[in-house]
Each structure stands twice: as C-alpha cells, then as structure tokens.
Amino acid sequence: MRQNISQPLDQNDLQKISSSKAHEDQLQRQLIDTRCRNIVTAFFSASLVWLLSGSALAIAASIKLHSPDFLTQSDWLTFGRVRPAHLNTMAYGWVSGASIGVGLWIMSRLTRVPLSKSPWLWAAFFLWNIGITVGTIGILRGDSTSIEWLEFPGYTAPFLLGAFAIAMFEIIRMMNKRPPGHVYISQWYILAAFCWFPWLYATAVILLVWFPVQAPAMPPINWWFAHNALGLWFTPVSLAAAYYLIPKVVGKPIHSYYLSMIGFWSLGFFYAWNGMHHLIGGPFPAWLISASIAASIMMLVPVITVAINHHMTMKGSFHYLKSSPTLRFVVFAAVSYTLVSVQGSSAAIRPLNQITHFTHYTIGHAHLGMYAFVTMMLFGAMYYIMPRLWNREWPSAFLIRSHFWLCALGVALMTFALSIGGWIQGWELNKAEKGFMEILEITLPYLQARSLSGGILTLAHLMFTLSFLLLIFGWSPRGGTPTLLEANTPFRRTQ
C-alpha cells in the first residue's frame, strides 16, 4: 500500500488507483504529506536553529543576572541586549516558525486540500527567517526598540509581515477550497490565529515603531500586543495541535463538540482584553486596568472548558502515555496550559499582583506558558508530523525519552525556582522592611537554579536536534513500526 515517497502522486494518479474509500483516503493523505514535506521540514529545521541560538542567548542572560562580570567586554553582549535577543529569537524564530509549520500541515490534513505548489510559501520561509536574523543582529548591535515583545527594529517588520501575509493567504485558500462538510475545531483555531496575528503585529508596529503615538498611550498598545501574541497566536495554534493530536493518538473523537466551541469563542473574546493586567498601578485610567483584570479572571471559562474536554477525551486512554512520544509531550503541554492559565488569572487580582508585579515570578509564569505549554506542544506535534512527512521513524526511543525527561525536569526547576524566588522578592519588597540590596541577595540562589535549568533544557534541545537530523538524513528505520517509548505496549500506527 505504501508508495515510494520519492515519487510524488498527483490528482490523476489518485483517480486511476483509487478502488476503495479507505485506499483513496490513504492516497490523499500521502499526497498531502508529500506536498508538505519540504516546506514544513524547512520551517521546522529553521525553528530548531533558532531554538538552539535562543538557548545560548538564554544561558548567557541568565548567568549575567547572578554573575554580572560574565561577558562584559563588548556592548553586543550586554545583558540589556542579550535578554531581548533571547526573547525574540524564541518567540518569533522558534515558536512562531514551528507554529507556521504545524498550522500549515494540520490545516492541509483537515481540509484535505494539498498545500500550494507555488514558490510563495518558500518566499514566506525565507522572508521570515531573514527577518529574524536581521532583527536579532539589530538588537545585539543596539537597535532594540525597548518595547517589550517588539524589540526587533522597525526595518525588520516588512520581512515578518510579508511572510505572515503569505502564510495567512495559504491558510484561507485551503479553508475556502475544502470540500463541504463538518469543520473541525482545530481548523477554527488555526484560521483565527493566522488572521489575528498579522492584524496584531501590523497595529503594534505601525503605532509603536513606525509612526509612534504619544508616549503615555504606548504601554496599553504594547501590552495589548504582547499579551495577545501569546493569547491569540501561540495559544490557539498549540490548542489546535492538542485538539488534533489527542484524538488521533488515542483513536477516539473529541469528548464534546459544544464544549470545544464554548472554549474557542470565550478564548477569542476574553483573551483579547487581557493585556492591561501588566500595567496595574501604572499611570492609566482605572477602567482600562479593571477591564483587563475582569477579562483575566474570565479566562477561567475557556481554560476549564478545554481542560474538561481534553481530560474526558483522554479518560480510559492514559496508558498510551507510556508508549506514545507524541501523547506524552502533548498531555504534558495540555496540563501546563491549565496550570499557567489559572496562575495567570490569579496574578491579575490586585492584592496578588501587588506582590508578583516587577518580580521574577512573572518570568517564571512566562516560561511555564511559553515552554511547558507551547514548546512542549510543538515538540509533540513534530514527533507526530515528521515520520508521516518522511515515511521514516524516529531513530531512537532513548533519545526521545531523554529529551522528554530533560525538558520536564528543566522547565519544572525553572518554574519552581523563579516562582518561589520571585514570590519572596515581591513579598519582601512589598513589606519594605529590608533594604533593596538585601532582598536582591535573597533571590540569587534562585537565579543560579535558573541558569542550571537553562543548561538542562539546552541539553534536551541538542538531543531533539540529533533525533531530527538522523530522521531527515535517513539514519533511522523506514516506515511501518513506530518508535515507541515502551515497545511491548500494543500500539497500532494511525494515519
């Protein structure tokens, strides 16, 4: 049944060969995967390069925070440049690049429309990665805007906007060409995310960087953008992956279609209003801040809905966690989504925000979201997608297992260290009994623990990169039997 992957099929071949519905479906999937193979692999590979560069920048920034004399010879490597370079390579190079790949593939699978053959998607790939390269160098040479989550200098934005516009049109094209019938929840999430992000990014770049508004109006726009980049771009793509992958691996439909709809619309409605909880106590009208605090608490609606829906789908299938690499990463990520969202809602409440605002607690929260949720979800998706694109299996269960446990250990250490250290820092600053320097000293061991966790995570990334390269270059088993974490579990490959 399996065709040689090196001979792509086209529509004519398909019609000739098709004899049964199942056979036709399988050929259609092969056509989709063949069309996706090069471009999606390119997005994934580039995103892994950014993941590794971002890790190096992260370790440098983290060490500098407890050992200020580390790497001070050049202005290119001063803390205030390395830190935003880390954030932007991770947020745009790694997470966004990988998300574009995951979004294109899932959309193509669900609409049953093969990816366009036109060179435009390659233009998007090159524009995107040239943009990230130019932006990162820009920050390091001193062109950072110091607008958080938007530090890339203004001359980077045309690259990123151009690339994203192409990706958006491809997603819309696939949606429009799909055969009539049921639309799956992941499609709503991906379609919305790919349309919301260009609007977000264009608004922020125009009003903050290209034609800046008066300074007092900048922070609300800044945090509307920064929080929605998380909430209306990273989050929906990752949730789309969870909604696609969990039912696929466990072989059951999602628990409730209606719950998933409530989750989707309440996410769009409430998340969009969240950003101002980063500005509590700042020089802004009270209504602006209060609206965001209320919306932050209302985020419990989509979060609990999604959590129930995922949990009920998983119910009775938890034993697959022992064997399926994809499921293990995805479930870890889905649980983290619930945790990070509840933590975020609570930190928006004024008395708690008074303590956690301006401390490492927020940084811990950001890593719980961007790493334990989004990054783990993207790893899970890649574990599922790559073998299907290449018709090859992952080279080694040992590499996957170590990747998982190093990630889990690293991000747990980071989150605990920063949450506890940040809480103590905020608690003491709020009491204002100890001197500022004295409180700084208390936080140092937690910052050192964070550097250690950075090292652990980097090791995990190297393991994954090795697996990824072995798979692409063919030093891994050919299709048939998937690489499982526990080989003796009965498991059948689903398409």
**Out of 131, 220, 325, 380, which residue is the one contacting another protein (CB under 8 A)?**
220
Least spacing, CB of residue 70 vs another protein, in Å: 8
| Stretch touching another protein by CB under 8 A, among 31-39, 199-207, 297-305, 319-327 | 199-207
| 217 lies in the binding site for another protein (CB under 8 A) | yes
> Cα(149)–Cα(153) distance, rounded to whole angstroms?
11
Helix (H, G, I), strand (E, B) or coil at 60: helix
Does the footprint of another protein cover residue 437 (CB under 8 A)?
yes
> Does residue 364 contact residue 418 with C-beta atoms inside 8 Å?
yes
Residue 198 makes contact with another protein by CB under 8 A: no
Task: Name residues whose C-beta falls within 8 Å of residue 21's C-beta, 6 or more positions apart in sequence.
Answer: none
- If the CB atoms of residues 354 and 396 are measured against another protein, the closer one turns out to be 354
Q: What are phi and psi of 392, to 5 degrees?
A: -135, 160
Cβ neighbours around 145 below 10 Å, total: 19
Our CB check for another protein shows the closer of 79 and 126 to be: 79
Q: Which is nearer to another protein, 223 or 404 (CB)?
A: 223
| Least distance CB 161 / another protein (angstroms) | 17
Cβ pair 275, 289 in contact under 8 A: no
Distances (CA, A) of 239 to 52, 59, 491: 24, 29, 25
Site for another protein in 83-112 (CB under 8 A): 83-84
For the segment 438-457, give every residue that binds another protein (CB under 8 A).
440-441, 444
Among the residue ranges 139-147, 162-170, 321-329, 449-457, the one whose residues contact another protein (CB under 8 A): 139-147
218 is a contact residue toward another protein (CB under 8 A): yes
Site residues (CB under 8 A) for another protein, limited to 344-403: 350, 354, 357-359, 362-363
Q: In this structure, what are the phi and psi dihedrals at residue 8, rounded to the nearest 5 degrees? A: -65, 145
Rounded CA-CA distance 401/460 in Å is: 10
Residue 433's SS3 state is coil
Q: Which of 57, 98, 232, 484 binds another protein (CB under 8 A)?
A: 232
CA 321/CA 327 separation, integer angstroms: 6
| Nearer of residues 192 and 484 to another protein, judged by Cβ | 192
Is 420 a binder of another protein (CB under 8 A)? no
Shortest distance (Å) from residue 131 CB to another protein: 20
Does 81 participate in binding another protein (rule CB under 8 A)? yes
Q: Between 252 and 291, how does the x/- string for binding to another protein read (CB under 8 A)?
A: -------------x--xx--xx-xx-xxxxxxxx--x--x
Residue of 25, 80, 158, 478 that binds another protein (CB under 8 A) = 80
In the DSSP assignment, the letter for residue 432 is T
Token digits of residue 302: 């989509």
Spatial CB neighbours of 150, under 8 Å, sequence gap ≥ 6: 204, 205, 208, 209, 222, 225, 226
Residue 335 tokens, joined:
């649980």
